[in-house]
A and B are shown apart, each in its own frame.
Chain A
């Protein structure tokens, strides 16, 4: 099982600032099969990035996913009030699919 560790646990950011979230895998994620999701309170998760760096439909270009192998990042530039919430990384290269524990951006 691939274990994903996200850091930091909580990120304190002011509107307009940038933020970088980290996701480290316990082993290499095949084919960079790594996705990022955003979840706001009381809502379902929303896909932001897949394939480590491809933005999902409708996701603004201030969300940038990078990385390969076992180390991945999600950078959000110019945070707006709508960007605060919990962000999860997830690997889909092997079973069981696994998620990181989440980074709360507030």
Chain B
């Protein structure tokens, strides 16, 4: 069974930094693209970033480009999202998601990032 567990969410002041982690199990981690999707309180879903299996290609939504950085550790079966210069617009639950040929087929339970205004 695919299992994705996010951690690292916290309350952080505007301009601060945070590193989210996602620990994976139940599938061949190094074979899949991985994605972060976020959801602001009471709002819809927003794709944030995607990384390919060997971290050769990384894609970001414009609003986080230059502030967020994706990385992964295939041996440790972990995905990371380094978030810098955070603003209140980054407040959201961040979901770690496995992609299969672009399809977001398995989701973690999410981790909450709060940046007060």
A contacts, CB < 8 Å to B: 33, 35, 37, 39, 44-47, 50-51, 56, 88, 90, 92-93, 95-102
Given A44-B95, A44-B108, A35 and B103 contact (CB-CB distance below 8 Å) = yes
Bound complex: CA A3 to CA B46 (Å): 12
Task: Point out the residues of chain A lying under 8 angstroms from B11, CB to CB.
Answer: none
Bound complex: CA A90 to CA B108 (Å): 18
11 pairs from A and B in contact (CB 8 Å cutoff): A33-B102, A35-B104, A37-B104, A44-B108, A45-B95, A45-B104, A50-B105, A93-B102, A96-B61, A99-B47, A102-B44
Number of A-B residue pairs, CB cutoff 8 Å, is: 52
Bound complex: CA A56 to CA B95 (Å): 19
B contacts, CB < 8 Å to A: 35, 37, 44-47, 50, 59, 61-62, 95, 102-110
